[in-house]
Amino acid sequence: MEIQLTRRTFLKTTTLGLTGLTLGCSIGPWPFDRKFSNVTVWLTISEDNWITIMVPKAEMGQGVSTALPMIVAEELEADWTKVTFALRGELGDYSISGAMGVSGITGGSTSISTMFEPLREMGAAAKEMLVTACAQRWQVEPESLTARNSFITHSTMRSITYGALAEEANLLPIPENPQLKDPSAFSIIGQPLDRLDTPDHIEGRSVFGTDVKVPEMLYAAVRQSPVFGGQVAHFDPSIIEGTTAEAILEIPGGVAVVAKSYWEAEKVAQSLEIDFHIPEEMEALSSEDISQQLTQDLSTPGSQVRLIGDPIAAMESAPIKVEALYVVPFLAHAAMEPMTCTAKVTPESCEVWVPTQGARIVQAVTRANTGLDVSSIEVYPTHLGGGFGRKVESDYVTQAVLASKAVGKPVKVIWSRQEDMQHDYYRPAFKAELKGGIGESTGIISWIGKSAGPSLMAGGFFDFMSTAGFSPLPYDVPNMSAHYVESDFGVPIGWWRSIGSSQNVFFVESFVDELAGAAGEDPLTFRGEHLKNNERRLAVLERVAEMANWGQPVVPGAAQGVALALHGASVLAQIAEVSVDSGGEIRVHTVYCALDCGGVVNPDIVEAQIEGAVIFGLTAALYGEITIENGRVRQSNFHDYPLITMIDAPLVKTTIIKSDARPSGVGEIGVPPIAPAVTNAIFAATGHRVRYLPISLYEFS
């Protein structure tokens, strides 16, 4: 279902600084009970005609610091060579509620889709104000003026810069219904423009969380309970006597050591002897226990997620029946930048510098730990060295705030890689049982699915996040049911890039391949036969088949596998070309991607997102596995939680299908289909079905 934003009105009045025009907008309600409130995105135009566009979304490599300004600049008729940006958290005048149902979150591939229309209107309104200001100054009709490249030109060819008009424009009311450009006239939107943040990244000027430096700042290293749910029972604070550490304090579930440098703090932290109170039920928890519990949970009815027709009766009548069990493990986020946060707490105020996907969550936990009013809390978002959903959480923020509060100075908390790996909010482990019935020359006539795993929305809510990609199906099936059984092991879980689809698309697309095999049909043709009522999805599937020259791999001896994924209104099909040598070594040579994501703001950024998503998902499919022993994570670093290296990375070829639809998300859709595309190719190459991830668990011959 596409969600259309209703007409928004601009409610904020302008405020004038010496730098020039400042404009804000507020966005009205979503339909379908989703609402925006107090979302203000503003821009400044300086006297030298530079335009700074504020970006309230977290920049974690996905390119919003370029794409969002492009939308404003298009309608503003700005000179793109003199546009820059500044990061702002979604707080106060910059707040957004409604995206993913949670206020202040960057995630769910929602940045462009939720902000496209309001940013266009803001740019158009600013342009109209500048034109009006010019008309009043020159005593001419606005219709005689043309705005282009941050200049306004009269029909007599007289011209003036936006910067020269900014103060006068600030005194005007903000238009309620600014005229938007026809998309056919776009000159910025749709172009593969260079990213605005690239020069700063190359020259080392971009500020990430670990780059923050504040006068008198100290550093903190943490040691947390190695067992889930453990709390500090005892530690000897005198241990820091004779060391370079300045303080040691208890934090939730652990201890923080504060020193003048990170390495000094880390050295002392490594020597700590801490007694933890461990919950009895967690002390013996193992991956084997979790696997057994998931199997047991699958034997229970669970909650019905979807029911179409009569799948049980259809299954009984089906001449061909197929059953399969699929299993996926816990996964870590493994961002290149471990958790880090800098806080400066005083009796009157608190400042927090943090790489976060949820500035409002940061503000809330800071308030809870200081007692300060939100008006006294400033959150300064930095660039993120990887987010993937992990930096929606706030555990590391709490630690920095408590440490600064205890020592009375600014403190930067930095986690070691081991702490980061063993104290994550993991992608949940799941099992799924699927049953399918195939009719005579009628394709799939029955589909019965049940999945079991931890809930991302525990507490009585319908868990659409955990069931995303499991139901509804992307294919036409006349009789289907889906059930979900919530499992709880006490292992911290959280959002992971593509959320529930990361496992559910693997389940669904693997099983579709198995059904195609049972029916004796080509996997791609079989999918197409079940997409006849959805031209858009069928077009995407056909396009990727053309790209990959389906059935004729480029690499001799290689095989191909296909998978389809949906995310919101976006559709993506992938074909992976894979070979398995005589020693069982797997090589993914090329991944072809056909994408329909509606209108595109910057195709280069879209392609980069798909490429990154493929690598992220392929790493998880090949190697990703967090295992539990005695209530603790076994993995500790990249030696036992490996990431794919450049030499093993496939070539990724992406085609973006032109569309007049409104933009939809691209940040996550590339992750889910890569695992089944690869495992389906492995079956085509070897005859072995991969139903358990990671693929490295298997030995092929």
| Residue 386 forms part of a structural domain | yes
Q: State which of 361, 380, 414 marks the end of a domain.
A: 414
Which residues span the domain enclosing 174?
21-202
| Residue 13 forms part of a structural domain | no
Task: Compute the distance between CA of residue 152 and CA of residue 170 in angstroms, rounded to an integer.
Answer: 16
Task: Compute the distance between CA of residue 154 and CA of residue 131 in angstroms, rounded to an integer.
Answer: 10
Task: Compute the distance between CA of residue 536 and CA of residue 221 in angstroms, rounded to an integer.
Answer: 51
3-state secondary structure of 149: coil
| Residue 106 forms part of a structural domain | yes
Task: Compute the distance between CA of residue 85 and CA of residue 63 in angstroms, rounded to an integer.
Answer: 12
Specify whether 217 is located in the same domain as 172: no
Q: Quick one: pLDDT at residue 103?
A: 56
User: Taking the chain (701 residues) in consecutive chunks of 10 residues, what is each chunk's mean pLDDT?
Assistant: 23 30 39 29 87 94 98 98 92 56 76 92 94 98 98 98 94 91 98 98 97 98 98 94 94 98 97 96 96 98 97 98 99 98 99 96 97 97 98 98 98 98 99 98 96 82 83 98 96 97 99 98 98 98 99 97 98 99 96 98 99 99 98 98 97 98 96 99 98 93 57
| Residue 477 forms part of a structural domain | yes
Element (H, E) at 164: helix 162-170
Task: Compute the distance between CA of residue 10 and CA of residue 119 in angstroms, rounded to an integer.
Answer: 11
| Residue 79 forms part of a structural domain | yes
Specify whether 197 is located in the same domain as 213: no
Specify whether 32 is located in the same domain as 128: yes
Q: Quick one: pLDDT at residue 462?
A: 57
Specify whether 475 is located in the same domain as 601: yes
Specify whether 568 is located in the same domain as 615: yes
Domain count, the chain: 3
**What does the block give as tokens for 446?**
């029955």
Q: In what order do the strands lie in the sheet with 145-148?
A: 145-148, 151-154, 159-161
Specify whether 214 is located in the same domain as 321: no
Specify whether 395 is located in the same domain as 323: no
Burial of 337 (0-12, 13-18, 19+ CB in 10 A): buried
Task: Compute the distance between CA of residue 580 and CA of residue 567 in angstroms, rounded to an integer.
Answer: 31
Specify whether 51 is located in the same domain as 91: yes
Q: Where are the beta strands (DSSP E) in 67-190?
A: 83-87, 145-148, 151-154, 159-161
| Residue 406 forms part of a structural domain | yes
Task: Compute the distance between CA of residue 377 and CA of residue 349 in angstroms, rounded to an integer.
Answer: 6
Specify whether 499 is located in the same domain as 594: yes
CATH code of residue 178: 3.30.365.10
First vs last Cα of the chain: how many Å apart?
Answer: 44
For 87, 120, 123, 126, 610, the CA distances from 116, given in Å and listed in that order, are 18, 6, 11, 16, 20
DSSP string, 449-485: EEEEE--TTTTTS--HHHHTTTSS-SS--SSEEEEEE
Specify whether 348 is located in the same domain as 434: no
Question: What's the distance, CA 525 to chain centroid?
Answer: 32
| Residue 1 forms part of a structural domain | no
Specify whether 297 is located in the same domain as 357: no
**What does the block give as tokens for 645?**
């290296």
Element (H, E) at 420: helix 417-422
Specify whether 498 is located in the same domain as 543: yes
pTM above 0.85, yes or no: yes
| Residue 10 forms part of a structural domain | no
Q: State which of 368, 389, 414 marks the end of a domain.
A: 414
Task: Compute the distance between CA of residue 54 and CA of residue 52 in angstroms, rounded to an integer.
Answer: 6
Find out whether 70 and 45 touch, Cβ atoms under 8 Å: no
Q: Quick one: pLDDT at residue 104?
A: 72
Q: State which of 202, 228, 246 marks the end of a domain.
A: 202
DSSP structure class, residue 17:
B
Q: Give phi and psi for 131, each to the nearest 5.
A: -65, -45
